[in-house]
Amino acid sequence: MPDSDWVENLTSYIRGLIDSRVTHVRLWLDSNLKRFQTGHATVEDLRRQFDNMVIEMRTNVQLCNALCTSCHLLCVRSRQHEGEHTCQTAHNCVHGCRFCENDEAKPCGTPYVVISLVIFVS
């Protein structure tokens, strides 16, 4: 699977987890706040705080997507991380292609390995 597809699947999975949690908490809030007066300032402030927290949570789980400093795969650290970009892999090619079969394993994300996979798969 191309790295970009894997990262997109990971992003979708994380987004789904967040959506599920937000829905659960929103239902809990609605259930527990329905006995209070509609438009009450404290209740509205709580809802605004919750909405702000949801925005902050979604921002904090976005992936960096820059290129790893050791290879050509995408960085999977937080978008706001400090330090080097990393793909969090062992940096060994996992593809059985003609570029790696006779030599020692190439680093993951090596451009000619990725290109050859696209050509042979297509």
pLDDT tens, 62-120?
888 787 777 777 887 777 788 787 777 776 666 566 655 665 655 555 554 444 444 44
**Distance (Å, rounded) from C-alpha 44 to C-alpha 32?**
13
Looking at residue 118, its pLDDT comes to 45
pLDDT tens, 2-35?
777 888 898 999 999 999 999 999 999 999 988 8
On whether the CB atoms of residues 107 and 92 are closer than 8 A, the answer is yes
Domain coverage including residue 23: 3-62
Looking at residue 70, its pLDDT comes to 74
**Distance (Å, rounded) from C-alpha 45 to C-alpha 38?**
12
Q: Is 35 contained in some domain?
A: yes
Q: Is 15 contained in some domain?
A: yes
Dihedral sign for Cα 99, 95, 1, 58, please: negative
Q: Is 99 contained in some domain?
A: no
Is the pTM of the predicted complex or chain greater than 0.75?
no
Say how many domains are in the chain: 1
Q: Is 55 contained in some domain?
A: yes
